[in-house]
Structure 1
């Protein structure tokens, strides 16, 4: 089997918001025994992880650079917290407000991906977009989730806004995600 590269596409917030979100993640590590989210940079996923043969890396970069996306930057408002209370895999996240621009960007990326790579199945949430910026998942036990959610994050307020002037193709190098390319919106 040929070697495969692992990619995903995301919006990465500016450093001030990255630091604020990382502080929430650190709270989960310190108080709720969940540190998995600290392994990845804060982001909003636009296209879930996908594998492509390493020989097609240049093709992926060319596709990413030519994506038919928005022509003007837009704002993302982060408003409070949300959760996916699945007992087997609970998730707590910062909640981005869905705007027509965010939805259009994600939809165009998914449609273009599906056209170029029709044999790579899409995830359910790629067709039913629910943007989120994860602060706890994978190693978050359900009892710790309930404690964190009910005692703190359900009613905790958080508001921030940033301009999206680009988004990123990230590639996993075997140890961590690294930016492989940036697509500017302007």
Structure 2
């Protein structure tokens, strides 16, 4: 039986970065009642959510592992707070040619080899760690922005893997981590 599920591809920072970012999301929930950003672990999206046949999940994993065989690790820096209008507040990612190249190559691979749709946000890539969106209303925007500016932190981490996240009961969970430079 064909069961279509939702997936997306992302970089997940290690601890203590993931914990610090999650704590900021929790503070936003406590002070402003916003919880949509808590439906996924802190992450840098590489490929926007897509629908895929759950029965072919192993094939998806294998194909993406093959794609990553020649990928070298690199560092990513987190710095500052940014916004997309008054609808999204995020932690900024320092400009990084390796990250941009990985996303560009992955986007092409997904379109060509996995027949996935090339989303507008895949084409206008702006890496970030989302802190608040969807349930962020204009009336709460300035207060949330002020809070996250007080809680922001700078960090750097080594990227040596990509995560496949899967939607399960309304939350995104890490389904599988695929390491760079390893086949299988």
> Deviation of residue 96 (structure 1)?
0.9
2:66 paired residue number: 66
Q: Does the 8 Å contact 2:39/2:172 carry over to 1? A: no
Task: Say whether 1:111 aligns with 2:111.
Answer: no
The alignment partner of 2:29 has SS state of: helix
1:54 paired residue number: 54
2:124 paired residue number: 128
In structure 1, what is the Cα distance between the partners aligned to 2:129 and 2:15?
Answer: 14
Deviations 1:37-65 (A, max 9, x none): 12211000000111112232232122111
2:19 paired residue number: 19
TM-score in terms of structure 1 length: 0.87
Matches within 5 A, 1:36-185: 36-68=36-68, 71-86=71-86, 90-118=87-115, 120-149=116-145, 151-153=146-148, 157-185=152-180
> Deviation of residue 147 (structure 1)?
2.7
In structure 2, what is the Cα distance between the partners aligned to 1:28 and 1:134?
Answer: 12
The alignment partner of 1:129 has SS state of: coil
The alignment partner of 2:109 has SS state of: helix
The alignment partner of 2:98 has SS state of: helix
In structure 2, what is the Cα distance between the partners aligned to 1:162 and 1:54?
Answer: 31
Q: Does the 8 Å contact 1:75/1:161 carry over to 2? A: yes
Q: Does the 8 Å contact 2:68/2:180 carry over to 1? A: no
The alignment partner of 1:67 has SS state of: helix
Distance 1:24 1:12, change over 3 A: same
Deviations 1:4-46 (A, max 9, x none): 0211111000120011101111121122221111221100000
In structure 1, what is the Cα distance between the partners aligned to 2:28 and 2:165?
Answer: 25
In structure 2, stretches of 5+ residues that fail to align are none
